[in-house]
Amino acid sequence: MNRYNIEAAVITHIGADKDINEDNYYVNGSYKMDSQEGTCGIADKKKRNSYTYAVCDGMGGESYGELASLLAAATLEKYKKTDIRQSVNRYIVSANEFICDLLRNGGVKKSRTTLSLLNLQNNTAVAYNVGDSRVYFCRKGNLYLLSTDDVDESIQSEDKLTQYLGMHPSEKSIVANVSKTTTVKKGDVFLLCSSGLTKVVSDSEIVELLSSEADNATTMTKKLVSLAQENYGKEDVTVLVVKIA
């Protein structure tokens, strides 16, 4: 990836109707270490051979979804020195076990999180996801969804997720959705986000903001979060933009 400049920025913002921001993120070793922090963000431009980004949408309200998303991000840090493309399944099993241990040992009824993950190396990109946090790819004004929502619309309830981190192994063996490998080019933009963005911001609005050649990753991230707030985003929103220059 040394032939390109990789610029990333992330903002996680507490929802209008929330007391705690249950989302978290991971940017090449950095994540929200204080689960009680409502709104924060970082930018990253350091050159690396491999780049790993993730967004974790914690769920559970009073059942500590913020701890599930924190555990998912912290566990990913333990795999920093591995090739995540080879170790992603082991990582997911480990993160799920840690969250299930929290449930079992902490007297917590329900604590869970989604995961969207992007890895860049050798001028290629691969996306992984569990749940409905998404990974998008924008090139020359066209928007592509790299992730696959684990959602069953036939379920007659608000909770339509078919898998997430925090599922007991006896209930289901979690298998991450894996995208096709994309060869990156200068000008490409990737977006990882929680459902707090996609529920209130349309694909057409997203592609318009990601297609701005003048904006850097930080500016794109700020505009997307602001748009979610303008559209009265009740949920926590986390937006992570990666721009190839």
**Segment 118-173, tens digit of pLDDT:** 999 999 999 999 999 999 999 999 999 999 999 999 987 778 999 999 998 888 89
55 and 11 Cβ atoms separated by less than 8 Å: no
First to last CA, the chain: 11
Q: Return the CATH fold of 6-244.
A: Phosphatase 2c; domain 1 (3.60.40)
In the chain, the percentage of residues whose pLDDT exceeds 90 is: 83
242 and 28 Cβ atoms separated by less than 8 Å: no
Tell me: pLDDT of 202 over 60.
Answer: yes
What is the C-alpha separation between 61 and 139, in angstroms, rounded?
37
> What's the pLDDT band for 17 if we cut at 50, 70, 90?
confident
Mean pLDDT of 190-206: 97
User: Whole-number mean pLDDT of the chain?
Assistant: 94
**And the tokens for 45?**
């431009």
Ranges assigned E (strand) in the chain:
6-13, 23-27, 30-31, 40-44, 50-59, 112-113, 115-121, 124-130, 134-139, 142-145, 177-178, 182-183, 189-193, 237-244
Domain extents in the chain:
6-244
Q: What is the pLDDT of residues 50-82, one digit of tens each?
A: 999 999 999 876 568 999 999 999 999 999 999
pLDDT score for 61? 64
pLDDT score for 110? 78
Cβ neighbours of residue 169 closer than 8 Å, sequence gap 6 or more: 96, 100
Tell me: pLDDT of 181 over 80.
Answer: yes
Mean pLDDT of 19-41: 95
Residue 170's Cβ-count burial label (10 Å; 0-12, 13-18, 19+) is: exposed
Residue reference for tokens 């529920």: 199
pLDDT score for 63? 65
pLDDT score for 104? 79
Residue reference for tokens 């769920």: 59
pLDDT score for 111? 86
Tell me: pLDDT of 236 over 90.
Answer: yes
